[in-house]
Structure 1
Amino acid sequence: MSDTLQSVSGGALADASNAAWTDRYTHAVMDTFGPPQRVLVRGEGAYVWDADGRRYLDLLAGIAVNALGHAHPTLTAAISAQLGTLCHVSNFFATPTQIGLAERLLHLAGAPEGSRVFFTNSGTEAVEAAFKMARRNRGEDGSRTRVLALEGGFHGRSMGALALTAKAAYREPFEPLPGGVEHVPFGDTAALEEAFSPAAVAERGGVAAFVLEPLQGEAGVRPLPPGYLAHARRLTADAGALLVLDEVQTGVGRTGSWFAFQQPEIGGGVLPDVVTVAKGLGGGFPVGATIAFGERAATLLGRGQHGTTFGGNPVAAAAGLATLGVIERDALLENVRHVGAVLSSEIEAAGNPLVAGVRGRGLLLAVQLTRPVAADVAAAALEAGFVVNAVAPDAIRLAPPLILTADQARDVARFFAAVTVPDTTVPAERES
């Protein structure tokens, strides 16, 4: 480690343990996430190491962020090279990397002529831009006043994105939130049709946008029912509403295609009006984007109506271009499909009575448990050298780097085959 880094960190990493770093964390970092499970000091490929020198197979990838794993040589070289030429400029100017990344995203998304990209620093900011686009889609008479979102959806924690997020525990401490948002039941086509019905429009106003995830990540990796997205496309098109797909977690190859809506089983050939993307786009470097499909959507936000200081800066754009380039060069979409199938099939085939099944697509999966012991399973996994996420009381989320190998997937399956958690359920008293 350089003297500079030692000075910044207050001592060499080798001189501090997990316990020592955690103690310092509790006195320096705001308590919004709780105590860290471990303090990680380096990574390579699909593995990370903690301050005590223990190695872990990273099956969370920073919550679907580190698409290429850790310290990928192509990504680090691209970021370093860009830092050595131009780090940041204001949005009064453009850079080749910014323009190149926008063009690349439009091509990969299959966006039609007239489409445009707005760059952000995160998924939350990408959703925030989409929300403002919805506000601008009120119609000539201003009658489209409602924005629909799905129950169980998670779209971020800024005030606009939080208004779209359904979970009461996230919303209630910060109410009142921006109004006009209605949450409809997950996967219920009849309820969706009611929200667009003439009676609903007459009573509550027209619909400006419908915002949803193709697979709900934070709700436990829940795929939409077959045909639901196509049905939503028909309803939004007829109403003049925007169909906004939140692909912050599902985009950039996570499900085995560049975007989840491109898979026939999910999208059914639909073309959305807006797609938000972030997380894996920069391979770990903060970058997000709001992709507007077609001239109508692309012109909803005019000059001076939205902005960002760091969005699309040359280093972030270089990271995005490098990430997309490696995914294509190394055929990682095919790897995601193959390794995801190995991971899900071998976990299910292991026959552990604690495991009810695996759902999801590609390398965004949830291991469904037969009991609400996900936190215990996640703790056991960490002790065994696997980083996973207890996304629900009875579900474990797996979102590893796209470079995960089949052999590493089999290591994961062996863990799920063997893991046990004591049943602490108290038997109900018999009636006398």
Structure 2
Amino acid sequence: MAELTERKNAAISRGVGMTTQIYAERAENAEIWDRDGNRYIDFAAGIAVVNTGHRHPKVMAAVRAQLDRFTHTCHQVVPYENYVTLAERLNDLVPGAGPQKTIFATTGAEAVENAIKIARHYTKRPAVISFAGGFHGRTFMGMALTGKVQPYKAGFGPMMNDIWHLPFPNDLYGVSQDVAVAALERLFKADLEPERVAAIIVEPVQGEGGFYEAPQGFMSRLREICDAHSILLIADEVQTGFARTGKLFAMEHHGVAADLTTMAKGLGGGFPISAVTGRAEVMDSPAPGGLGGTYAGNPLGVAAAHAVLDVIEEEGLCDRAERLGQRLKQRLAGLRDAVPEIVDIRGPGFMNAVEFNIAGSDRPNTDMANRVREEALKRNLILLTCGVNGNVIRFLAPLTIPDAVFTEALDILDESIMAARG
């Protein structure tokens, strides 16, 4: 591994960070084996990509069948039916009011870029509002919308203009939804007339920002404000989508329909594909050629996405996400008396997190989170941290993880948290 890491360091930009020094050789469901044959339990799922597990048989079969037909024509040149059919499925599944239409792209950042393009074109307005702690990608628009400087914005120069950030409601840090709404009202009075705002973009559960869930009622209040000022509401479901939160889309927890929804990650089950779905009249605003991309809606990604949607329904993965999340949160709750550093355990479905502070204080304990991650890796469990302060462990195992493997992982997690305390 050391020799391969040296080669990696010599060949690849250091800007491409790596959480582990594991080099994958093969993977199956919730397990990964490295080049030396070591087995790891994967609680990252490629950052919420393989919700249906590594190499799900139905996904692999769908992709193999598509490989035997064709791999690329560019839908804008020679279209294909399964692209149309997938759009029809998403138009029916994504929460929305009235007829919807869809476009496909390749990455989550690209979906966000297209959503902003569509919103600006439809409203003929330039400004966009997002939230502190939010993450929307690494392109320049994505960086501008993202509410976290390190490592995403630092040193990359001026961001896109007319992007405005608001506090995200978070009771743990004393930001109620009333405070967040009041900040928006102050913004409209002091700095930005609402008639200049094209869209408000929000994650129903902040991903990189720390797995903080928008409180009940907040989305309804945003919807009312957007409707009052003819502003579009964009739900960024790139990380929350496809059964991760116990619903196919996290906005279903709020009973609110966005005007535009961005999605990627879990949609392709390991194959690159993203999408924007929204109100038909909004989606039809750009002229032909204004949207698209050479690889947008690649046939292999489209085939995989059809299989992913089938698996979620056939295997009841929304319900399974709820059950897995409850087991995980109960296990973590059982540690609170012995681990005073645990300040919060949260998350809908199986999009869960545990946050650490310095014991007896409100100061973030970044070191504790990192030690837990490192101790888990020693025991062959892959974990990810997140949060503006880096003091949160997030849990994103495949929803298809076998019960025995899940129990094994929970035992390792217990040991790792206790070991991290020293």
Does 2:228 align with 1:235? no
CA distance in 1, matches of 2:41, 2:192: 54
Does 2:131 align with 1:155? no
Provide the residue aligned with 1:30 in structure 2.
Answer: 13
CA distance in 1, matches of 2:142, 2:114: 9
5+ residue gaps, structure 2:
170-176, 359-364
| Cα 1:365–1:413 shift into 2, 3 Å | same
CA distance in 1, matches of 2:248, 2:316: 12
| Cα 1:113–1:228 shift into 2, 3 Å | closer
| Cα 1:196–1:92 shift into 2, 3 Å | farther
Note the C-alpha offset of 1:113.
4.2
Does 2:157 align with 1:175? yes
CA distance in 2, matches of 1:359, 1:92: 46
Does 2:307 align with 1:312? no
Provide the residue aligned with 1:219 in structure 2.
Answer: 209
Verify the 8 A CA contact 1:366 1:398 in the aligned structure 2: yes
CA distance in 1, matches of 2:222, 2:241: 19
The amino acid that maps onto 1:377 is: V
CA distance in 2, matches of 1:112, 1:138: 18
Residue 371 of structure 2, aligned match among 335, 353, 376: 376
The amino acid that maps onto 1:28 is: A
Does 2:254 align with 1:271? no
Provide the residue aligned with 1:403 in structure 2.
Answer: 400
| Cα 1:62–1:398 shift into 2, 3 Å | same
Larger mean Cα displacement after TM superposition, 340-349 or 203-212: 203-212
Provide the residue aligned with 2:67 in structure 1.
Answer: 83
Residue 337 of structure 1, aligned match among 298, 315, 322: 322
Residue 177 of structure 1 aligns to a residue whose secondary structure is coil
| Cα 1:73–1:55 shift into 2, 3 Å | same
Verify the 8 A CA contact 2:48 2:265 in the aligned structure 1: yes
CA distance in 1, matches of 2:181, 2:284: 27
| Cα 1:46–1:389 shift into 2, 3 Å | same
CA RMSD of aligned residues (A): 2.0
Note the C-alpha offset of 1:356.
3.6
Provide the residue aligned with 2:273 in structure 1.
Answer: 287
CA distance in 1, matches of 2:220, 2:330: 28
Note the C-alpha offset of 1:172.
4.1
Residue 35 of structure 2, aligned match among 39, 44, 51: 51
- Amino-acid identity (%): 34
Provide the residue aligned with 1:74 in structure 2.
Answer: 58
Q: Normalized against structure 2, the TM-score is what?
A: 0.89
5+ residue gaps, structure 1:
1-17, 425-432
The amino acid that maps onto 2:405 is: Q
Verify the 8 A CA contact 1:342 1:410 in the aligned structure 2: no
Does 2:52 align with 1:65? no
Provide the residue aligned with 1:42 in structure 2.
Answer: 26
Residue 361 of structure 1 aligns to a residue whose secondary structure is coil
Instruction: Please identify the structure whose Cα radius of gyration is greater.
Output: 1
Provide the residue aligned with 2:174 in structure 1.
Answer: none
Aligned residues: 398
Runs of 4+ in structure 1 displaced over 4 angstroms?
200-205, 421-424
CA distance in 2, matches of 1:174, 1:135: 24
Residue 386 of structure 2 aligns to a residue whose secondary structure is strand
Task: Please list the CA deviations of residues 274-308 of structure 1 after superposition, one character each: whole Å capped at 9, or x if unmatched.
Answer: 0000001000000000111x233222322122221
Task: Please list the CA deviations of residues 149-188 of structure 1 after superposition, one character each: whole Å capped at 9, or x if unmatched.
Answer: 0011000011111111112232242232221110001124
Residue 125 of structure 1 aligns to a residue whose secondary structure is helix
Verify the 8 A CA contact 1:339 1:404 in the aligned structure 2: no
Residue 171 of structure 1 aligns to a residue whose secondary structure is coil
Verify the 8 A CA contact 1:22 1:39 in the aligned structure 2: no
Verify the 8 A CA contact 1:348 1:357 in the aligned structure 2: no
Residue 179 of structure 1 aligns to a residue whose secondary structure is coil
Verify the 8 A CA contact 2:194 2:229 in the aligned structure 1: no
